[in-house]
Every structure is written in C-alpha cells, then in structure tokens.
Structure 1
Amino acid sequence: MKSYIQRAKWMAFALVLLFNASVSHGQAYKDGKFWLNDDGSHYFKLTLLSQVWLRSTDLNPGSTINGYAKDHYTDIGIRRARVQAYGQLTDRVFIYTQVGMNNFNFLSDRKAGFFIHDILGEYAAVKGRLSFGMGLTAWNGLTRFAAPSVATILGVDAPLFEQTTNDVTDQFLRKLSLYAKGKLGRLDYRLVMSSPMDVHKAAGYSDAISTRSNFSPLPAKMQWQGYFKWDFLDKEDNTTPYSAGSYYGTKKVFNVGVGFQFQPDAMWHAGATGDTVLTDMKHVAVDAFYDVPLQGAGGPSISAYATYIHFDHGPGYIRQQAVMNPANGTTMAGNAFSGGGNGYPSFGTGDLVYAQVGYKFKENLIGSTTLMPYASAQFANYDRLNDNMLFWDAGINWLLKGTTSKLTLAYQNRPVYETAANGNGERSGHKGTALLQYQVFF
C-alpha cells in the first residue's frame, strides 16, 4: 500500500510540474521560439517541413522498372521531410540539429527511418564577428547554394550540382567539419575544414581505375573550403548555414560572393603509361543574388541568382544526377551514358553557368493568396561530353500562405546522352518531367 501511495505522490508532483509548464508556455513562446530568458536572446526552436511530389516522367531510352521496359512513368514520392531543433542556449553557445529523409518513393526500402542530417555545437569567440563550430554540418564553401534553405527554394529543387560531393564523400552535402564563420561589417564569411567520408560507401562506387578521373579509394586528406560574400543592401542572417532561395519580398537583398573548394589528392586516374596519377580536387566560383520588393510592402517582388563555377575533378570526370529515380535498370548496358530513368550528366570537370529568376505578384492577388512564376537553367561545358549540356525548368508557385503552404507546378527538360565511340557522352535528345509539389513548413 505504501508503494502505491508513494507512486501517487510522484504522479501528483509530475502533474503539478506539467501544469506549471503549460501555464508559463504562453509567456515563454514568441516568434516561433521557446524563450529561455526574459528578452528572448536565449531560445530554442523547432520546425517541420514536408515536400511531396506528384510526377510524370518521360524515361531515358531503355529504362526498366524491376526488369520491365518502361518509357514513361507516373509516381508519388516524398522529396524531403525535415525536423529542425536549434537554439541559442547562452550568450555564446549555439546548438543545431536536423533529422529527416529524402527521396522516398515506390522503389525505396519500406519503413525507412529518419537519419541525422546535422548535429553541431558552436561557440561565439567574438559575438557576431567570429564563431567556431564542429560537427556533422552543412557549413560549406564554394557557392550560396552549396547549402540551400530547402523551405525557401525558388522552384521545386535546389541547384544540386553546387553540392559538388553530394553523397559521394559526404551525407547529402553534410560533412564532418570544423568551421569558422561570422560578419565583418558587410562581409559575410565562412571557412571550413572537412574530413571526407569513405568513398567506398557511396552508391555504385567502384575503385577500378581508368584513364578518366574518379574519387580515389586511398585514405582521404582534409578538404578545405570557403565562401565570402558582400551584402550591399540588407544583411542576411547567418545563424544556420542555409541560404534562402527567395525572401518573397520581405527583405531587400543584393550580394556578390566568391568561393573555393580544395582537397589534395582527392582524385585518381591511370596515366599514359598505366601508372596511377593522383590529382587535387579544385573548384572556384563567383555568384550574385538579388531579391527585392518592387513597390514596397505587399507589392510585387523579384528574385534572381546567377553563378559561374569552374569544376576540376581531374580529366574526364562525370557524374549523373537522377533525383528520386523512378527506374532501377536499363536494357542499353554500356550505351546508356545517362543510365535509366531520369538521369543526366549534372556534375563534371569543366565550366558551368546557372541562373534562376522569379517574379512574385502582389499580395492578395487571388483572395489571400498570390502567384510566383519562375524559370532556371543549367548550362555546362564538361570534358567528358561531346556536346554542351543544358537542363532547364520553369513553373509557377501558388503561395497559399507564403512558404507555410505552397503548391508548385513545374516542367523540367533534361538532355539525354548515349555513349559515343570515344567513350564520351553524345547528346541524343531531350526528355521532360511534369511535376506538382505541395510544401508544408512550420
């Protein structure tokens, strides 16, 4: 009997604590944050994101799904699901973590679990000017969208080629890193030292060596990267590494950035005499971002971004991109340069230019909602391609409640390549994808 009374006492005590917490909740919660002190400078915040795609895809020639030939397929998939938890715990201590999953469709393993995207701790050595952090993190160099804010992507997807080692020697762009970041006046900077993940764990990786460059299977050396941008108008927040795709007219932003990424002996290939040649991975880039309201609050706004990148992965390097691929095979074997499904050569050694632009109409254009059409294009001259590569997409965002509830209808056009006699990719045509995305963000 005494044990039951003791348990009852503890349950009553727990209920009192819960009641007190619920009473104080209204005083401690503001602007989406749980305040940890009276002025809100110490806080903790949670966010949720869901992006679901309905897609109709013209598949690459020879594509198969579980051995059955298909030239077209319609599917539904979860492109992204995210939970963020982060906070300023003291004047100098910041913590950030993110869990989620990507690319869950009918071909995925069932009951796929969320995995850790980010987990880091950060200390402000000089508040606002210099902070140091360590962990699994998206603090990357090279370009603005080497770490994109997925909730504010202008269209349906980020320019993934700016994440140069995505899921090869990192985890969906996140790296095990030590970083320094801050602001010096209008200069926003980040410098990062990363420990590359084992390339043997990358999907489809083979350590067979050829005359064309590939990531070396030897123990990797540290990767170094940095990005520096100058804010001419409003200063952007750099609490997290993720850069906004658009502010939808809520800020007045114009900046220009330069960046680099370098890893010694990251790549290898066979030399003319059959010897093994190690080469550095060296990338440099410049970009510009412009996002401003045109007629004050509630009026239309414009968002534009452009970048030039020189990629150096070594001679002849190429890598296909096939987002949430609806096919898992091909009948064309070695002739299918782009592989089955929706693959196309997005990454490679050479030069690339990318641009995107969007125009948001005034608020309350359709009831309490508005529209934002956009277009983007990726143009590349890669060593391994006999023809230049052009990928473009265009669409319209229906902002039902800003980014909290957003419906996007888009069309993507990608090039299809077959293997030429010299082993390079030769463009044989184009294929398209019609896509409807619904985003909920809280």
Structure 2
Amino acid sequence: MKYLLTTGMLCLPFFLFSQTAAKNVPDEIPAKSFFNKDLRINLNESGSQYFRFVFLNQTWVRLNESNPGTTVFGNPKNQTLDFGLRRTRIQMYGQVTDRVFLYMQFGMNNFNRTAAYQANAPAGITQNRKIAAFFHDAVGEYDLWRRGEQFVRIGGGLTVVNGLSRFSQPSVGSIMTTDVPVFAQATVDQIDQFDRKLSIYSRGQVGKFNYRVGVADMFPIETNGAATAGISEHSVFTSSRLAKSFQGMLIYNFWDTEDNTTPGYMTGTYLGKRRVLNLEAGVISQKNATWRKAGADTVYHDMLLWSVAAFLDKPIRESNGAALSAYFGYYGTSYGKGYLRFNGIMNPATGTGKPLAGAGGTHGNAFPMFGNGSVVYTQAGYKFRDDLLGSQGTLMPYVSWQSADYDRISGRMNVWNAGLNWLVNGHKGKWSLNYESRPYFANEAGDGPSLQKKGRKSAVVLQYQISI
C-alpha cells in the first residue's frame, strides 16, 4: 500500500503539470509545434536527399508482485517498486543519394538499479553500473528498382530486418501497448544482439505485396554475456555446429501500404493516419540450432519458427481522428524438445531462494516467455477523438492476451495486459499506464516433468515516452 501511495504522489504532478502540446498531426504536414518538426539535414535543394536524427526515451515507474522466493541483493522481497529506462535510443538515417539509404541506431535498454548486478561475481570484482550503450543497427540499402511507392531494395549489416512477424521487428516508438510482446523476438540476446542480426537481405513493395527475405550469420551463444546453459535433457542453443539462419516474410496489403522508410521496422499503430488491413505470414529456420541429451546421445534439433497473422489499423471517424487498431497472430515455435526460457523485462530482482528444477532466471517478474510449442497473441485498442482532452490530447485504451502451449508447461500459459495511453502529442509525447497479470510456477512432489501453474502475480507500469 505504501508503494501505491508513493507511486501516486510521484506521478500526480506529471499529470497535472505536463506541458501542453499541439494536437497530433501527420509528420509530413508542417506545424508550429517543435515536436512535429524533423531534426534533419537536407543534402540537396529539394530535400529528397537528407539525413535525419531521432531521439527516444522511455522512463518506467513500476510496482511488481514478486514471484515466490524472489530476492533483491540477497534480501527476500514480496514486491518491488523500481524506476528505470526501458529504452534510450538515438536513430540516425537518411536517403544519402537517389539510391542509397543509411540507417544507424545507438542506445541502451533495460537500465535500472539491478541492471549490472551479478549475484556470484568473482572475488575482487566490483559491479559496474555503467552499462554500455551499443549499436543496435548499422545497415545500408541500395535501390534496385523504384516506381512511386513500389520498390525493390537489397541491404546488409547489423539489422532488425526479420522473417517471423511485425512484432519481431517493431517500431518501438509507435507501439500501442506499453511494451511489445517480446516472445516474438524469438532469439533475443541468445544468438542475436537484442533482436538484431548480421544479415544480407532484400525487401520491397511490389503491387499489394510487401516482402522481406534474408540470411543471417548468427552469434554463438557463448558471447551473450550470461553463463552458458549446460546440455541436459531439455533443448538449449548449441555451442557447436553454428549454422546460418534463413528468414522470409510476406504481407498482403488490402488497403494502404505501410511506411517502409526505415529498414525492417514496422509501425505499431498509425493512430488513424492510415487505413491498413494486412494478412501476414513469416518464417525463420536454422539447422542444428539447439541440442540436448537423450541418454548417452547428443541430439540436435533444427529451429523452425513461423507465424500467420492479420493486422487492422484504421480511422473510425476521419473528421475527428477516432481510430481502431487490432492484431491477431498464431505462432509455431519449434526450438527443440523441452526448450523453455524464462524472461523478466528489466527484471527488478536479482535472485531466488526457490529455484525451479530445469529452469533458470525465474525470479522477480519472469515467466516462461519462450518455449517449444505454439503461441496465440492478440491485441486491440481504440483511440478517441483527437481533442478529447482539449489541448492536452486524447486517450487510447487497449488490451492484449498472450496464450502459450509449451511442451514443458502443464496446460496453457496466459498473460493478460490492459492499459491506457494518454497521447499528449501522438507517439511523440505520451503517458502509458499498464496492468499485467502473469502466472507463476513451483516444483512440488508428483508434478512430473512439467511445470505446474500455482497462481498469478501482477505488475503495474507507468511509462513516459518522449521522442523528437
């Protein structure tokens, strides 16, 4: 209760005294508000060649109910209140010649007070709170063919261009929910660099079809900065036979085409500024991606991840800006028998006194985010008219549901989120309040090989996002 009161007292001044901003308008329409102007350098007189800078910061205030046994710096904690930076990014990109596009992104993620903590650091090694920022993307593209909005490009570098789904390559500054469904970033920080891969690819818009195909040179699991999981009866990413990953995605646009400016990144919601209805299908495959022990034998498994989905984002009343956004997707996640990975976003805890057999990282806000099996994910939201709050913008409530059927979980695992966006200036200045309900698990005699759900925990997150 004291955390709730403290959080309320901290947040109230921001809601009451948030600076008034102009109503949301499309980026391409000039406006007096600074927040609707690009930070760009024109490289020719017409502005068709340019270089642009974008800054994004997402600050979190979070109250979390801890999973059983959770400790923070060695102390048991039933709940935590923490502050952090979910994402801090600088994007630099532009059309530097008629055919050449350059995109770079630099920043850091998940920075809170536990970010640099190592529970079992070697003697004499101190913790380092200066978490290094890094290049998320560094990619160049070349136009092979272009006619209006139709184009075919080839590209290469460190990139998010991906084959699985739109949420495997999300434009995080424009997502509708407070956070993305991270399970769709299927190999994040295991054999990739925060969802990015060293890839060569082609992407394009041809008629009603948008496509992307590519091959990626995956990173070895040993370089992800965490202790490598030992081989056991459950599949984990292999330490040998490292193979290339092949990926492809095909999207059919019934109505408007989507924004294809930056390499790969897909908009979360256009807030009614476009009329979009898509059918989408994607796949990622990698030979001998995981391994496990079967008696005295070592068994290798190919990884095959695929999805089919529908996406809708459209104005309901173009006269006042009211809009609807919705998504439904089915994901097949074949990593290898018994693969299961717990993950907690910007985990506010550091350890547990009640570890689960055959699972790691189960403390704090973690749940089985990735697993061998299948996932259904859906979300929906409604944006009210632009001037609902007068000069203070408008509101957009939403709900989301992730339902997973993993072979090491008894029954389906359901994670619910419900939230409210206060769009002071569209995505460029917005507050988001999110409630999450997730399951927790325990080992008990008689459970057998599957993990059993024992109850539910929740978290409340307040996010303030600003971008220019």
Instruction: Give the letter for the 1:96 counterpart.
Output: Y
1:378 alignment partner in structure 2: 402
Contact 1:140/1:146 (8 A) holds in 2: yes
Cα distance per residue 1:279-337 (max 9 Å; x no partner): 10011110111000011143310000111001100111111120010110111134595
Contact preservation (8 Å) 1:336, 1:417: no
The answer to whether the 8 Å contact 1:148/1:244 transfers is: yes
Verify the 8 A CA contact 2:418 2:435 in the aligned structure 1.
Answer: yes
C-alpha contact 1:314 1:349 (8 A) present in aligned 2: yes
Counterparts of 2:238 and 2:57, CA distance in 1: 36
Q: Distance in 1 between matches of 2:321 and 2:156?
A: 41
The equivalent of 2:170 in structure 1 is 148
- Of 227-236 and 296-305, more deviation after overlay is shown by 296-305
State the secondary structure of the residue aligned to 1:108: coil
- Indicate the residue corresponding to 1:53 in structure 2: 60
How far did residue 264 of structure 1 move? 0.5
Matched, 1:387 2:400: no
Give 2:428's aligned residue.
404
Structure number with higher relative contact order (C-alpha < 8 Å, ≥ 6 residues apart): 2
Q: Distance in 2 between matches of 1:335 and 1:276?
A: 21
CA distance 1:196–1:162, shift in 2 (3 Å): same
Task: Identify the residue that residue 182 of structure 1 maps to in structure 2.
Answer: 204
**Residue 259 of structure 1, aligned match among 282, 295, 314:** 282
Rg larger for: 1
CA displacement at 1:183 relative to structure 2: 1.1
Distance 1:336 1:432, change over 3 A: farther
Q: Matches of residues 17-416 of structure 1 in structure 2 within 5 Å?
A: 32-109=39-116, 110-127=129-146, 128-240=150-262, 241-271=264-294, 273-334=295-356, 339-368=362-391, 369-416=393-440
For 2:92 and 2:351, locate their aligned partners in 1 and report how far apart those are by CA, in whole Å: 38
- Whole-angstrom distance in 1 between the partners of 2:135 and 2:430: 26
Letter in 2 for 1:276: T
Q: Deviations over 1:99-151 (max 9, x none)?
A: 00000001123222321000011111123432111110000111111100011
State the distance in 2 between where 1:380 and 1:259 align: 18
Structure 1 residue aligned with 2:9:
none
User: Residues 191-218 of structure 1, C-alpha deviation per residue, up to 9 Å, x if partnerless?
Assistant: 0100111101235443522221111100
Question: C-alpha separation between the residues in 2 aligned to 1:389 and 1:221?
Answer: 31
Q: Which residue does 2:22 correspond to in 1?
A: none
How far apart, CA to CA, are the structure 2 residues paired with 1:374 and 1:281? Answer: 33
User: How many residue pairs get matched?
Assistant: 413
Q: 1:131 is paired with a residue of what secondary structure? A: strand
**SS at 1:77 equivalent:** strand
Give the TM-score taking structure 1 as reference length: 0.91
Q: In structure 2, how many angstroms separate the alpha carbons of the residues matched to 1:260 and 1:328?
A: 35
Asked if the contact 1:336–1:419 (Cα under 8 Å) also holds between the matched residues in 2, the reply is no
Distance 1:30 1:325, change over 3 A: closer
Q: Please say if residues 336 and 418 of structure 1, whose CA atoms lie closer than 8 Å, have aligned partners that are also in contact.
A: no
In 1, distance between residues paired with 2:229 and 2:428?
Answer: 44
CA 1:297–1:31 in 2, change beyond 3 Å: closer, same or farther?
A: farther
Report if aligned partners of 2:59, 2:83 keep a CA contact under 8 Å in 1.
Answer: yes
Compute the displacement of 1:347 (Å): 0.6
Say yes or no: does 1:417 pair with 2:436.
no
Q: Would you say the 8 A contact 1:387–1:425 is kept in 2?
A: no
Q: Give the aligned residue type for 1:427.
A: K
Q: Which runs of 5+ in 1 are unaligned?
A: 1-28
Per the TM alignment, residue 416 of structure 1 is displaced from its structure 2 partner at its CA by 0.3
For the aligned residues, what is the CA RMSD? 1.6
Structure 1 range deviating more: 330-339 or 354-363? 330-339
Quick one: which amino acid aligns to residue 405 of structure 1? G
Q: Deviations over 1:14-72 (max 9, x none)?
A: xxxxxxxxxxxxxxx97553221122211111000000000000000000011100000
Q: Distance in 1 between matches of 2:260 and 2:443?
A: 44
The unaligned stretches of length 5 or more in structure 2 are 1-35, 117-128
CA distance in 2, matches of 1:418, 1:203: 27
Percent pairwise identity = 42
Does structure 2 conserve the Cα–Cα contact (< 8 Å) formed by 1:85 and 1:96? yes
TM-score when scaled to structure 2?
A: 0.86
Partner Cα separation in structure 1 for residue 371 and residue 458 of structure 2: 22
The Cα offsets for residues 253-282 of structure 1, whole Å up to 9 and x where unpaired, read as: 1111101000001111122x4211111001
